[in-house]
Amino acid sequence: MDRVADPLADASAAPHAPEEVDRPRLPPAVPGEAPLAMPVQSLRETPAAEPLPGQLGLLGRRVFVIGGAGLLTLFAAHEMYLVLNVGGLTLLEYVVLALFVVLFAWIGFSFTNALGGAVAMIGRREDPLGIDADPPPLTQRTAILMPTYNEAPARIFAGLQATYESVEATGALDAFDFFILSDTTDADTWIAEEAEFLALRARTGGEERIFYRRRPRNIDRKAGNIAEWVTRFGGAYENMLVLDADSVMTGDCILRIAGAMERHPRVGLIQTLPVIVGGRTLFSRMQQFAGRLYGPLIAQGLAWWHGPDSNYWGHNAIIRTRAFAGCAGLPHLSGRKPFGGHILSHDFVEAALIRRGGWAVHMVPWLEGSYEEGPPSLTDLAVRDRRWCQGNLQHAAVLPSRGLHPVSRLHLLTGIGSYITAPLWLIMLIAGLLTALQARFVPPDYFPTEFSLYPTWPAQDPVRAAWVFVGTMSVLILPKLIAHALMLPRGALRRGFGGGVRAFFSLLVETLIAGLAAPVTMVAQSAAVATILAGRDGGWQPQRRDDGSVPFWETVKHYAPHTLFGMLLGAAAVAISLPLFFWMLPVVLGLVLAAPLVLWTSRARHGLAGLLRTPEEAVPPPVLSRALSLTREIGGREDSGEAVARLHADPALLAAHRAMLPDYGERMPGDYAPERLVARAKAHDAPSLDAALALLTPREKSAALGDGEALERLLALATRPATDAG
């Protein structure tokens, strides 16, 4: 690629820069621009697209998974009908039956997908993209993108450096460029990012292929961040590999999917299966174990029947840049937030639009070398789920889009269902309790409106109900046991889990903790759905990655409604009958113990008698060990000081910061951003740096550091002795 020096990085080419500023020549922070048009897609029109070759073999698989789930649901619905239809169905029993059918269909679909995964894992591995073959020398260029939003710089740059070094070790580094795409709004974090960017270049010698760009306005969040890169630089790259702030990938994994993109020009996206790693708390290690043992079975099942109509999870995936630019320009949905505006859960929609455009979307869950981290506590999971819930509910507006593949519509439906099922479970729980209450206290109707020889009263068949319960639990738990059984013959994998027996006990521990956490998650997701339907926007908060510790009293207060609700459920069950109370005990216990459960599982627990161990924990891959080492090294020396003071104390960082500002921080005609103008005024009026920082809001401080005039004033205040203030 022709690398044109960025005029913003060369002070002599910045005519608007203040004359007194020393403007040394610096390596460009970004390469020369190569614009690529990314038109906004219409959801009401079907674009012209060349169809993909037929996949007749997938029809039988889809009938097996979808049709099998349907048959299971019909059988379960019939059995539940017999449970409830003792003396006729009441209105409440009809409600319970309807909800049971919907919810069993959900878990039945997961079960048959797991069976498909077992078939795929037992049979000969299919490799339609040639992933397993030795990758040929790459001729196409790929950009590796690391979007970030107010994340800890040590983590981001450590993970990116480990990935960079792993790619370098393959000898194919010349085919890749690396971009840090910052949407950070916190001023101190912004300057820390710039410092670590310079340090990363110095450590790796990657001035020619490691770049940093920060957007002054994070329009449309992560989707807008990627789209802005595409329209500025996408024309120079055949592919882009999108990471997340906690992503790490091996060079071998990257080379294999990049090679597959070269060999298959009709493929638009390849999604890897990120393995969850780095768990320190009991909660994160539980998720890590579950994802490592059960995740491959589920993902193999998805790939088995999805074929080229698969999905995208937003990161650790390679995308053909022109396919993304030509098909995935997301429109703003009509109406107000939380349903209107830009699409939050953009990944499912982007995959659906790329597939609509005639490009194949594949998943390669067997490919190793793709990693991510999970939330450290149940509270952090709930915060993330609130944002995902809003985004997935928005998919209801995308479902009617013209031209979508039926499997793509199913992806969108599953995204919606993953959150709608929580309030449905809650409603069914309450309706079931009311049904039992009705059966216990409502007297028989001796004078029904229709002629009958016998009185009618609400009643159920307890023996059949027990069998329905056992069957439902089997559908939920059998995939875990199947995953465990498939792991046993694979010696290295089995040893990574600590052996078959230890892995089985880990499975029991994970199932127990997950069972206790499930009612808490049910209530949290139900509350999220309710607030979203009420019109409340969830916003966009950065995720916590490392520390899962939660404040004691804040946690107790936050989960007090869960505890109270659990106590009310338990009291109602006891009032009806003791057997009903024991029947509902798992739900009651999970809710009553919500606060202790969160506090206990959010603490760092490494030993746990060797349980919940994973292969990556037992023998860490070199790329993960390197990332951890770099995180400790960078975090240990990282200056987390105030941004202005840091710029004032480091002339090289200050020069680079100025060079990376658009137009050297000069206000361009038509720029009337209020925070920028207010920041200038406050900086001008302040008698000292401390006074200025006290006056500036976080948004205004970021605007001041991005404005040449305000920045010069703050630096001048930093040079003024405290005795001269005022």
Backbone phi, then psi, for 113, in 5-degree steps?
Answer: -65, -40
The pLDDT assigned to 23 comes to 53
Confidence at residue 722, expressed as pLDDT on a 0 to 100 scale: 56
pLDDT at 454: 44
User: What is the Cα–Cα distance from 214 to 190, expressed in whole angstroms?
Assistant: 8
Q: Give me the pLDDT at residue 548, please.
A: 56
Preceding omega of 662 cis (within 30 degrees of 0) = no
Predicted local confidence at residue 583, as pLDDT: 84
**Residues 6+ positions from 556 with CB-CB distance below 8 Å:** 595
- Output the pLDDT for position 726: 47
Under the banding of pLDDT at 50, 70 and 90, the label for residue 670 is confident
User: Under DSSP, is residue 655 helix (H, G, I), strand (E, B) or coil?
Assistant: helix
Structure tokens at 416: 């919606």
209-247 tens-digit pLDDT:
999 999 988 899 999 999 999 999 999 999 999 999 999
The torsion defined by the Cα of 509, 514, 516 and 517, in degrees rounded to 10, comes to 140
Average pLDDT estimate for 274-297: 95
- At 639 the pLDDT is 60
Angle, helices 91-122/406-441, rounded to nearest 10 degrees = 140
Q: What is the mean pLDDT of residues 687-692?
A: 94
For residue 435, the model assigns a pLDDT of 81
Mean pLDDT calculated for residue range 406-422: 95
Per DSSP, the residues of 482-539 read: HHHHHHTT-HHHHHHTT-HHHHHHHHHHHHHHHHHHHHHHHHHHHHHHHHHHTT----
The mean pLDDT of the chain is: 89
662/244 Cα distance (integer angstroms) = 25
CB 305, CB 344: distance < 8 Å: no
Predicted confidence (pLDDT) at residue 1 exceeds the cutoff of 90: no
Q: What is the pLDDT of residue 143?
A: 98
Say yes or no to pLDDT of 78 above 50: yes
Classify residue 136 by burial, with Cβ atoms within 10 Å: 0-12, 13-18, 19+. exposed
pLDDT recorded at residue 136: 83
pLDDT in the model for residue 125: 83
pLDDT tens across 178-218, in order?
A: 999 999 999 999 999 999 999 999 999 999 999 999 998 88
User: Is the pLDDT reported for residue 37 higher than 80?
Assistant: yes
Q: What angle do CA 600, 602, 606 make, to 5 degrees?
A: 90
**pTM confidence score:** 0.91
Evaluate whether 349 touches 400 at the Cβ level (below 8 Å): no
The answer to whether the beta carbons of residues 252 and 301 sit under 8 Å apart is no
pLDDT for residue 55 is more than 80:
no
Supply the DSSP string of 102-128, one letter for each residue.
HHHHHHHHHHHHHHHHHHHHHSPPP-T
Of residues 482 and 454, more confidence is placed in 482
Q: Judge whether residue 3 has pLDDT over 70.
A: no
* Sequence spans of domains, the chain: 668-726
pLDDT score of 542: 61
Percent of the chain with pLDDT over 70: 90
The angle subtended at Cα 498 by Cα 496 and Cα 501, nearest 5°, is 130
Phi-psi region of 687 (alpha: psi -120 to 50; beta: other; left: phi over 0): alpha
Confidence of residue 31 (pLDDT cuts 50, 70, 90): very high
